[in-house]
């Protein structure tokens, strides 16, 4: 079983409008709701790839009940979310169907009490004992210590459970020092972490900070990976346009499923890039277009990179 952790879960709401214009009213052509937050997006893709997945994190309030109700309709995903007194946040995506652009509005999340954080840590350790790998994903809700991910990484490592960390800012800075197996920042997150805007230099610096492998998302240009087994660049065969919501989470699903299946790194990276591109092409935010994925997978370019001193 793969465990995904989303401390700041969300009810994702997507509105589709013909044209998004500031200072005007809009008629919504289509509205969708789904369980959201990085780890829940990741779980949905892992399940579609045939893996057993359990999700945990915090959930509460009316929004939380709606999220859990929708989660029951997600095949092969087990709900192990921890209830809290606050209300789960909402994220609003407004998709302009004329331009293909999306505007995102994200609420901060509920205030987590020290007792709720302690309850979560107990539940997390129990879940780890039956897990093959764990992904720690997304932002921290208010009240959770900034070093939370570092603590959760250390707990997983103490039980010899491979751990992937996908967060940003100070939680990433502290979490990477706990030596996760994989970190997956985007270019901006990597630059904030290392101070370097050169992805090659920045991934090298990030590994020196503690991560066993660093996989940097370069947007439409694919992924750059620095690993103990070598360095690679993976890129899609063509640019893709659409809604990028969840594309990074799909890339994480490719990396984590590849880790569990013990695939060589080039195959993991090809899967990650193909899933990410197929998510951009999907008609529903956060899903992936399976025919597009299967077509792209055979055409992803994965090239070794020369390691500088």
Provide the annotated active-site residues.
Answer: 249
Tokens of 231: 């360095």
How far is Cα 52 from Cα 3, in angstroms, rounded to an integer? 9
Radius of gyration of the chain (CA): 19
C-alpha dist (Å) from residue 291 to 49, 135, 250: 13, 26, 15
- Nearest Cα residue to 3 out of 124, 120, 117: 124
């Amino acid at each position: 079983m793969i465990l995904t952790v989303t401390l700041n879960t969300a009810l994702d709401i997507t509105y589709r409008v013909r044209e998004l214009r500031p200072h005007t009213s809009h008629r919504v052509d289509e509205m969708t709701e789904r369980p959201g937050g990085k780890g829940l997006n990741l779980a949905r893709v892992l399940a579609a790839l045939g893996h057993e997945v359990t999700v945990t994190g915090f959930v509460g309030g009316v929004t939380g009940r709606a999220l859990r109700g929708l989660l029951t309709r997600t095949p092969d995903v087990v709900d192990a979310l921890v209830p809290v007194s606050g209300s789960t946040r909402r994220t609003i995506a407004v998709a302009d169907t004329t331009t293909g652009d999306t505007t995102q509005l994200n609420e901060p999340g509920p205030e987590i009490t020290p007792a709720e954080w302690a309850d979560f840590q107990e539940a997390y350790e129990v879940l780890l004992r039956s897990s093959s790998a764990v992904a720690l994903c997304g932002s921290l809700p208010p009240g959770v210590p900034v070093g939370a991910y570092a603590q959760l990484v250390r707990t997983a490592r103490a039980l010899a459970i491979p751990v992937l960390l996908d967060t940003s800012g100070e939680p990433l800075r502290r979490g990477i020092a706990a030596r996760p197996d994989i970190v997956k920042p985007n270019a901006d997150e990597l630059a904030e972490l290392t101070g370097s805007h050169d992805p090659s230099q920045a991934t090298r610096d990030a590994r020196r900070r503690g991560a066993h492998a660093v996989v940097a998302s370069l947007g439409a240009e694919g992924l750059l990976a620095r690993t103990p087994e070598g360095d690679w660049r993976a890129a899609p065969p063509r640019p893709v346009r659409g809604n990028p919501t969840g594309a990074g989470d799909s890339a994480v699903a490719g990396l984590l499923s590849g880790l569990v299946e013990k695939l060589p790194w080039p195959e993991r990276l090809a899967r990650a890039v193909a899933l990410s591109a197929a998510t951009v092409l999907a008609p529903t935010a956060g899903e992936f277009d399976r025919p597009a994925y299967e077509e792209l997978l055979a055409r992803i370019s994965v090239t070794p990179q020369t390691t500088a001193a």
